[in-house]
């Protein structure tokens, strides 16, 4: 208004002058206006008023304001004294002219001080302290009527003006920190907006939980072929009506937040579509993280049938996660989001974050939350306190601990041909491939890959502290089973990627072998991430052999073959070949299993130079020859 003050005032003055001249012409009798008799006095009077309006000077605001007020009073009086009320056209003309004159008076009185007064009256800086007390009322209003978010938009914009006070002095000083401070306050305001509107995703997920319950426990999946007389049984009209009603409520809530349209809050652009998606992601992360934490809590005291309990928990968790996934895919079109993409991104983020935090116990420099690439301020991954007496940090650590407890080499026998563990006493199956399939259903491939990474850290720690070989072997056997499940899943669900990775791996190995035969051939440079990236993809798809990996760097140990020979000789005394299971088993229950011990020995020797391995094999050959020489002819 201030910048266009003079131009606006002059335009209004010209318009008022023209209107008064038109009224003068009307009373001259020459204008074809209905039922207006000629009146020379009124004609001259209106012409005189028009001349006075032309003489108004914008530069002399005080005098012009008084004259405008007098002109308005004169127009009101002429309407009363000359009984012009009978002609509505003249009355309307007079009223519009008075309105223009009043607008001129208001504009000429607008000064810089008015802006200062408005700033003082409308200052909302105190709202930073008290606004949170009204959050609950706003959320209740949104739950009752989602369209109220359009009205809240004005409140959020008003809150943005509260940033002006802390930024005033910084702006006046022309400080380079203005942008960073503005960004901070804008981010704080956006955080509060997210907090208020988070009630929409929460309410949506309450409805979604009901949809999950109906789809998981009540609705039957349609078979490929269906008999005509069973159509009614699979129709389940009442249940499908409930799902439709709940879906409509979810779409209504999404419409409420999308109606806000794009808004600039401070210097941050607030996109309602992104706001809705982030809110849904946040609530999804909270729900999935709690489900994983709650399902994977195991009793502190081991007991018989522990493996069956592990499988039952994994199956229950898999059913719950499948219900989440199916319902999330079901509503994605109604809230305009990419459901499967969000599901995969957030589940992988939850699992990778928990694996990262669990692996902190094996690192000298811990990865804190603010350093983690998986943690987010806008969509935080919740942390839950571990059960009393549990050394694991989260669910992935408890799952790894439970697997190690169930497959304890002192209590079980591993049979490689069956890829399963059996109880050493009863010879009943303890853990088999069905457990890995249930684990993949519950945790997806991200969970299997993350568990494999955690076992790798445990393996490195065990190698560095020189634990017993059978404990190393137990970890390696578990990693082989995880790799096998990932490889089967990759071959089944991603045939193209599996084939491409296999071909790429073979071609890289061929070129590396060619380089070692002829050093003039190319080899990836040290700063080239190709090999590292390919290995990451191969491990994520289970296309690797844990027993062939080198986990720690070691120096040459001349006595290592002799030490390993003594360890193997001592262990052999406690082992026997069992024809019923065609493998080495313990002579006495509760001592050692042959397969984990063998895998542990292979792992230890793999960390040393090939000459050390050859020396050990030569010593073992001499021991075998000496034993054969002692046998009767």
In angstroms, the CA 28 to CA 70 distance is 24
- What is the three-class DSSP state of 575? strand
pLDDT (tens digit, 9 = 90+) per residue, 452-484?
999 999 998 888 876 565 688 889 999 999 999
User: Which three-class secondary structure string do you get for 467-535?
Assistant: CCHHHHHHHHHHHHHHHHHHHHHHHHHCHHHHHHHHHHHHHHHHHHHHHHHCCCCCCCCCCCCHHHHHH
CB 354 within 8 A of CB 396: yes
Say what the pLDDT of residue 466 is. 65
Say what the pLDDT of residue 315 is. 92
Say what the pLDDT of residue 30 is. 66
Torsion of CA 327, 537, 450, 494, to 10 degrees: 30
In angstroms, the CA 502 to CA 278 distance is 37
In angstroms, the CA 631 to CA 471 distance is 34
Look up residue 28 and give its DSSP letter.
Answer: T
Say what the pLDDT of residue 54 is. 84
Say what the pLDDT of residue 608 is. 87
In angstroms, the CA 316 to CA 322 distance is 10
- Global pTM value: 0.74
Nearest to residue 410, comparing CAs of 459, 471, 350, 357?
471
Say what the pLDDT of residue 250 is. 83
Low-confidence ranges of the chain (pLDDT < 70): 29-36, 80-87, 261, 263-267, 301-307, 466-470, 633
Say what the pLDDT of residue 417 is. 86
Burial environment of residue 485 by CB neighbours within 10 A (0 to 12, 13 to 18, 19 or more): buried
Say what the pLDDT of residue 248 is. 84
Question: How many other CB atoms are found less than 10 A from the CB of residue 588?
Answer: 9
Burial environment of residue 525 by CB neighbours within 10 A (0 to 12, 13 to 18, 19 or more): exposed
């Amino acid at each position: 208004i201030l910048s266009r003050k003079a131009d606006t005032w002059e335009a209004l003055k010209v318009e008022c002058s023209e209107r008064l001249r038109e009224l003068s012409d009307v009373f001259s009798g020459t204008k074809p206006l209905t039922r207006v008799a000629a009146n020379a006095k009124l004609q001259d009077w209106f012409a005189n008023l028009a001349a006075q309006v032309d003489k108004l000077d914008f530069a002399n605001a005080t005098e012009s304001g008084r004259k405008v007020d007098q002109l308005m009073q004169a127009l009101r009086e002429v309407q009363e004294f000359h009984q012009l009320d009978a002609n509505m056209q003249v009355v309307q003309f007079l009223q519009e002219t008075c309105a223009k004159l009043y607008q001129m008076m208001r504009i000429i009185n607008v000064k810089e001080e008015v802006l200062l007064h408005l700033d003082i009256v409308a200052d909302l800086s105190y709202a930073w302290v008290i606004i949170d007390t009204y959050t609950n009322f706003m959320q209740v209003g949104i739950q009752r009527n989602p369209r109220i978010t359009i009205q809240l938009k004005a409140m959020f914009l008003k809150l943005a003006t509260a940033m002006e006070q802390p930024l005033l002095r910084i702006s006046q000083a022309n400080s380079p920190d203005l942008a960073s401070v503005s960004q901070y306050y804008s981010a704080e305001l956006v955080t509060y907006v997210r907090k208020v509107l988070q009630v929409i995703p929460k309410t949506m997920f309450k409805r979604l939980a009901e949809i999950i319950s109906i789809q998981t426990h009540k609705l039957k999946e349609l078979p490929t072929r269906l008999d005509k007389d069973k159509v009614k049984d699979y129709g389940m009209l009442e249940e499908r009506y409930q799902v439709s009603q709940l879906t409509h409520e979810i779409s209504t809530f999404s419409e409420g937040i999308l109606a806000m349209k794009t808004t600039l809050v401070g210097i941050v652009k607030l996109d309602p579509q992104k706001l809705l998606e982030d809110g849904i992601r946040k609530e999804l992360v909270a729900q999935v993280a709690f489900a994983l934490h709650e399902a994977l809590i195991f009793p502190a005291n081991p007991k018989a049938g522990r493996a069956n309990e592990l499988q039952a928990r994994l199956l229950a968790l898999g059913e719950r996660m499948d219900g989440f996934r199916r319902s999330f895919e079901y509503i994605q079109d109604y809230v305009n989001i990419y459901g499967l993409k969000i599901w995969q991104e957030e589940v992988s983020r939850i699992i990778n974050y928990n694996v990262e935090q669990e692996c902190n116990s094996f690192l000298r420099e811990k990865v804190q939350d603010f350093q983690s690439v998986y943690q987010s301020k806008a969509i935080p991954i919740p942390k839950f306190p571990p059960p009393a007496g549990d050394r694991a940090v989260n669910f992935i650590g408890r799952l790894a601990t439970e697997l190690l407890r169930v497959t304890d080499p002192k209590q079980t026998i591993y049979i490689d041909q069956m890829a399963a563990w059996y109880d050493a006493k009863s010879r009943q199956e303890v853990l088999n491939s069905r457990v890995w399939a249930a684990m993949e259903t519950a945790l997806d491939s991200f969970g299997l890959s993350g568990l494999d990474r955690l076992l790798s850290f445990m393996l490195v720690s065990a190698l560095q502290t020189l634990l017993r070989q059978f404990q190393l072997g137990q970890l390696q056997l578990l990693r082989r089973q995880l790799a096998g499940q990932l490889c089967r899943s990759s071959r089944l669900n991603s045939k193209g990627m599996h084939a491409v990775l296999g071909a790429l791996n073979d071609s890289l190995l061929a070129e590396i072998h060619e380089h070692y035969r002829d050093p003039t051939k190319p080899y990836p440079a040290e700063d080239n991430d190709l090999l590292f990236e390919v290995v990451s993809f191969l491990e994520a798809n289970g296309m690797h052999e844990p027993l062939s990996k080198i986990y720690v760097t070691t120096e040459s140990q001349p006595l290592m073959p002799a030490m390993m020979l003594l360890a193997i000789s001592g262990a052999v005394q406690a082992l026997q070949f069992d024809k019923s299971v065609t493998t080495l088993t313990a002579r006495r229950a509760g001592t050692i299993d042959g397969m984990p011990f063998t895998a542990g020995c292979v792992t230890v020797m793999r960390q040393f130079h090939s000459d050390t391995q050859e020396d050990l094999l030569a010593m073992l050959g001499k021991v075998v020859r000496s034993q054969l020489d002692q046998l009767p002819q």
